[in-house]
Amino acid sequence: MYTPDLYKNENPEEIRAFLKENSFGILINQTDGKLCATHIPIELEMNADGKEILQGHISKLNPQAAGFKENDQILAVFTGPHSYISSSWYDYENVPTWNYIAVHVYGRIKIVDYETSVEQLKKLVDKYEANSKNPVRVEDLSEKTMREARGIFGFEIEIDEIQATKKLSQNRDDYNYKNIISELEKTENPQSIAVAKEMSKCRK
């Protein structure tokens, strides 16, 4: 991912928090000489050796899964809030741009066994059912329903490299920086307001 030095995020804690909060990603690999991508939850977890990994699952019917055996190299893309930035918000002439936060994770993928896949499902469901009025638990599902779990491949990704971008108008002076935040907040667009919130954290 091309990232000018000004926009690189090299704070491990921030990146870790971002991956946990924006875990619906895009899994990209090469299968039969073609690039394939699937939109799925990909969770940051710790393995038995205390090393951070990514984990998730994919349908056995998805042709992308066939590529994991011939080439285990993958790219997982995660995006956060983003917004158009109008140059009319500056006190000088310039071009419009786009502010955004994104993380690319490069690694090697391996399929895990059925029991591990079920454990991954339990963690995933528990995470997203935590605030439900009547939370679903994998442990409570019938044997018939759990047969559907046989239709997936659980996977783990050993992380080789993380590239993180936080492009939030860091190249603007304080006056224009604050004005961008103010204009974003006026849009009533949830994405734009989220960008304004992130910008406020970066520069008081």
| pTM greater than the 0.75 cutoff | yes
CB 90 within 8 A of CB 172: yes
Rounded CA gap, 129 and 24, in Å? 16
Residue 106 to residue 159: CA distance in whole angstroms = 6
Structure tokens at 155: 């996977």
Residues 6+ apart with CB under 8 A from 43: 20, 23, 54, 55, 56, 120, 123, 124, 127
For 32: left if phi > 0, alpha if psi spans -120 to 50, otherwise beta; the answer is left
| pLDDT digits (tens), the chain, 204 positions | 999 999 999 999 999 999 999 999 999 999 988 999 999 999 999 988 889 999 999 999 999 998 998 889 999 999 999 999 999 999 998 999 999 999 999 999 999 999 999 999 999 999 999 999 999 999 988 988 888 889 999 999 999 999 999 999 999 999 999 999 999 999 999 999 999 999 999 886
- On whether the CB atoms of residues 176 and 90 are closer than 8 A, the answer is yes
174 within 8 A of 204, measured Cβ to Cβ: no
What is the C-alpha separation between 117 and 43, in angstroms, rounded? 13
Distance CA 89, CA 183 (A): 7
